[in-house]
Structure 1
Amino acid sequence: MTFESDENRTGVVVHPGTTWSAIDIDSETRLRGNWRFYSAGVDGWQTMVSQTETDTTRTDSSVRPAQVHAIPTQKQPDISSETTDNAEPPLVIEETWGSEQDGPSLPNRTDIATADRYVNTTSIAVQSRTLPVATVDEVTVHGIVRGQSRTVSIDDNGTVRETNLELTVLEANSTGALVQATVTENATSEPITTGRVEVGNQSAAVNASGMAVLELEERPSLLVDGQYVPAEWWRADHLYGTAKDRAKVPPKYPAFQKLIQLVLVTLLWFLPVALAVYGFDYLSGGTFLGLTTQQ
């Protein structure tokens, strides 16, 4: 599988189909397997024996055949390329699949470090920000035997779908806030059911309705920022892009209904007192507070 996104990212999953030593992406970019090679001589060739009809001659052999051995020297594959401090590597290995096995034991006279445990990689996912997707339409897989190589075609190009994130602050008090996140696909407005939403230091997976609820441990000041993080592209059935949103935090003052209730209670408390004072002033002919007009 391959894909190319608007963020200039190219991803590819390769299934070599054999035990491999290297995968050539292009003429300058190569994935190296965890297998390395060494040569060792074959016992029994130290002396050369020459025979004639009447004589046998033994001399030290001037040649000695050798056998090539493949051993895993590291746990995972890596990238074979030259990079600088100012340049990104052409590829990044995202994940590998395969059976994990114990490394081999070598004879004491063979001073080569081997991996204690290694992954016999049968699939590998890589990503690049510099290589176009056309570069990985075909790759060359090299086996661990010299001359054993084949071309692997990679198709089923994936399309990265744009997404939309909507944040809503459901509750907010002095101790924290409750935030609801809804993730949909831009083109269809259908809910997205994979990936997660991050708000502050909190993260929650979206559910079957494309929603997630996050409980923040501290009350935000004015705004809440969040981000939708899609599932890893090499694991997902559909490829989605990231999305961001910002929501306002409700003010700390009471809601309108509570304000109305406060006003009514205040009136009920002070209206009788006001009426009593006005009535007393009226009975006194306005001499008490001067609120009534004297005749």
Structure 2
Amino acid sequence: MSACRSLAAGVFAVCVVVSLWAGVVVGNNASGEDNGLSQNESATVWSRDADTGVPENSQTGVEAVAAATDISFKRPPATAATWTRNDFTDLRPGGVRESVYPPHADTRNGTYIADAHATTFAVQPSTRAHIASGETPLYIAPNGTVRGLVDYRIRETMGNQSLSVVSHEVTAVRVLREGRVIDEVSDTQTPTLTYGELSGGPTTLTLEADIRVRVETTGGNESVETLTISDSQSVTVYDLDAVGSAATYPNGKTEIAVFQPLPWQGYVLDGMSDHRVRGVWRFYTARNPQWDRVVRANAGGTTVEHSDAHPVYVHAYPSRIGPRTQPVRDGPTLQRVWGIERRGAEETLGENISVEVVDGTYKTSYGVAVRTSSGSLDDVRVIGIVRGVTARVAESTNRTRIRESNLSVRVVEQDASEATVRIELYHDVGDPIVLADPERGSQPIRFDDRDGYITIAGQRVETNSSGVATVTLSQPGVYTVRYHPESWLTAEPAYASSTETIRWHPLSTRSGWWHLALTVSWNLIPFAVVYAAGRAFLNIFDIQRFL
């Protein structure tokens, strides 16, 4: 039994280490291919592969875990971009009489040119977000790289004429956004293009190439053909635009709330890089299956074979782990999470993805509030779900000083069966806090959770214009009275919560003792009657002399 416990503990420890792990060592993977990753890092990028269990030849703990399940990350890992950048060098176009393309490529034919295409291999840094059923946008960084493959073949014959190649070239390869050229290179069939400073929002990136060939027919005549080919991809430029609010409590602690309309990873209290706040999103990496195979086309037909290059992407998904803060013991404490209720994210992951995705409805955590004893809104650095994209909160932020609140609770009237409690809520003497709002019922739109209230004995009560509320208690005991203030984000002025206790029991009054005596007396009357009757019976028959 102890051996089993030790084995389970070891596996659990490896899983924890792997889920938190982000490699920094560069090396070779198990097969010896130079992909820029260490052996452990290479094992983590293949979430889309079938999990076959722990292999006998696994050399590291990470390899063993990755073979049995998929590894998730709390931050977008750099491994996807590193693998893709290095693996892209293995992508080879065909020769002059052969074209190589993935099955999803949009090929075009000209007079002399056949099976021509320009296909995007990868856009990075980027993250595919699994938000809901039918909603999986590809977010790209405002500054990044587009890699692609351009290929074509030149026909061997045209009718009864043989064609010999005089020259051929890719004269230009461009990347365009909404028809505007962002970057351009020439004389390459495996272009790497860069873009920068793109404004945020949905857009279309297009990889476009110009091909020019010169051929000579059997009769010695030369002809020139040019062909433009392209591949467009819908993306969303991920540009963080965070808004923050902060409040200072009377005890000196600060509450910070940050809002971001796009999915985001969380934020860091700068200067204390270990003090972090995470939203609902976690990450895994997986290859793009569209590049699992390539087609080789020539005059004799087409063949399909395994691809030597596999682009890997980062994927973000809503995790059952949910929003978190760290460090757990001495770090900020999570106060509130805002967001939109969404569902169906698990349907978008595809086959062979084994991560702790939310099954059903989840909250998008567009806003997260924490309380901290150190740090301020000026220290906040917002981290996006796309690697390398960060932001500071906007300067037009709200800063609130939260006022103290005080509760005064006392019994003003009581009898043997119930007590009336008077509750006073105030900031200072003569400065009542009013919770009841007579205009509330006439407001056509309002947020139900915006109003403060007081709880006692399972009841919610509100103070009147004098800051007073009364409650009737029917059960003796000790009661906690708690003020739940309206959120400081919507209240003006804003108040801190406060708590008071009160004890009530009927025996704490003279009337209570009198009622107890009377009740006991009435309950003893039947016993007294029975006792008196028994004594009289014994006397009548003179039975006592036999006892």
The answer to whether structure 1 residue 98 and structure 2 residue 340 are counterparts is yes
In the other structure, the counterpart of 2:461 is: 205
Identity of aligned residues (%): 21
Letter aligned with residue 423 of structure 2: A
Shift in Å, 1:188? 5.7
Alignment length, in residue pairs?
241
The CA deviation string for residues 141-176 of structure 1, in whole angstroms up to 9 with x for no partner, is 233222332211463221121233333423111112
The CA deviation string for residues 261-295 of structure 1, in whole angstroms up to 9 with x for no partner, is xxxxxxxxxxxxxxxxxxxxxxxxxxxxxxxxxxx
Distance 2:459 2:268 in 1: 38
Task: Select the residue among 312, 315, 319 that pairs with 1:73.
Answer: 319
SS at the partner of 2:367?
A: strand
The answer to whether structure 1 residue 216 and structure 2 residue 459 are counterparts is no
Alignment of 1:45-84 (within 5 A): 45-46=292-293, 61-74=307-320, 76-79=322-325, 81-83=326-328
Unaligned runs of 5+ in 2: 1-244, 436-450, 513-547
Unaligned runs of 5+ in 1: 255-295
Letter aligned with residue 115 of structure 1: V
Q: Which structure has more RCO (C-alpha within 8 Å, separation ≥ 6)?
A: 1
If the length of structure 2 is used for normalisation, what is the TM-score? 0.38
In the other structure, the counterpart of 1:240 is: 495
Question: Residue 60 and residue 164 in structure 1: after superposition, are their counterparts in 2 closer, same or farther (change >3 A)?
Answer: closer
Shift in Å, 1:186? 0.9
In the other structure, the counterpart of 1:120 is: 364
SS at the partner of 1:112?
A: coil
Alignment of 1:14-29 (within 5 A): 14-26=258-270, 27-29=273-275
The answer to whether structure 1 residue 39 and structure 2 residue 286 are counterparts is yes
Question: Residue 186 and residue 21 in structure 1: after superposition, are their counterparts in 2 closer, same or farther (change >3 A)?
Answer: same
Distance 1:238 1:232 in 2: 10
Letter aligned with residue 460 of structure 2: A
Shift in Å, 1:229? 4.1
The answer to whether structure 1 residue 158 and structure 2 residue 416 are counterparts is no
Structural RMSD (CA): 3.7
If the length of structure 1 is used for normalisation, what is the TM-score? 0.65
Shift in Å, 1:40? 1.5
SS at the partner of 2:290?
A: coil
Shift in Å, 1:226? 4.5
Instruction: Judge conservation of contact 1:93–1:125 (CA < 8 Å) in 2.
Output: yes
Letter aligned with residue 364 of structure 2: N
Letter aligned with residue 495 of structure 2: Y
Instruction: Judge conservation of contact 2:275–2:327 (CA < 8 Å) in 1.
Output: no
Letter aligned with residue 354 of structure 2: D
Question: Residue 2 and residue 246 in structure 1: after superposition, are their counterparts in 2 closer, same or farther (change >3 A)?
Answer: same
Letter aligned with residue 431 of structure 2: S
In the other structure, the counterpart of 1:108 is: 351
Letter aligned with residue 474 of structure 2: E
Distance 1:139 1:42 in 2: 38
Question: Residue 139 and residue 127 in structure 1: after superposition, are their counterparts in 2 closer, same or farther (change >3 A)?
Answer: same
Instruction: Judge conservation of contact 1:42–1:66 (CA < 8 Å) in 2.
Output: no
Shift in Å, 1:185? 2.2
Distance 1:113 1:227 in 2: 37
Shift in Å, 1:238? 2.7
Instruction: Judge conservation of contact 2:249–2:402 (CA < 8 Å) in 1.
Output: yes
Shift in Å, 1:20? 1.0
The answer to whether structure 1 residue 141 and structure 2 residue 387 are counterparts is no
Instruction: Judge conservation of contact 1:138–1:153 (CA < 8 Å) in 2.
Output: no
SS at the partner of 1:104?
A: helix
Shift in Å, 1:89? 3.7
Letter aligned with residue 107 of structure 1: G
Shift in Å, 1:187? 6.9
Letter aligned with residue 192 of structure 1: V
Task: Select the residue among 418, 426, 439 that pairs with 1:176.
Answer: 418
Letter aligned with residue 3 of structure 1: A
In the other structure, the counterpart of 1:230 is: 485
SS at the partner of 2:472?
A: strand
Question: Residue 109 and residue 9 in structure 1: after superposition, are their counterparts in 2 closer, same or farther (change >3 A)?
Answer: same
SS at the partner of 1:207?
A: coil
Distance 2:502 2:304 in 1: 91
Distance 1:102 1:59 in 2: 35
Question: Residue 169 and residue 187 in structure 1: after superposition, are their counterparts in 2 closer, same or farther (change >3 A)?
Answer: closer
Distance 1:183 1:29 in 2: 36
Distance 1:112 1:126 in 2: 27
Question: Residue 46 and residue 102 in structure 1: after superposition, are their counterparts in 2 closer, same or farther (change >3 A)?
Answer: closer
In the other structure, the counterpart of 1:252 is: 510
The CA deviation string for residues 216-254 of structure 1, in whole angstroms up to 9 with x for no partner, is 123569xx8755443344553432134466789884359
Shift in Å, 1:8? 3.8
Question: Residue 180 and residue 44 in structure 1: after superposition, are their counterparts in 2 closer, same or farther (change >3 A)?
Answer: closer
Question: Residue 148 and residue 243 in structure 1: after superposition, are their counterparts in 2 closer, same or farther (change >3 A)?
Answer: closer
Shift in Å, 1:127? 1.9
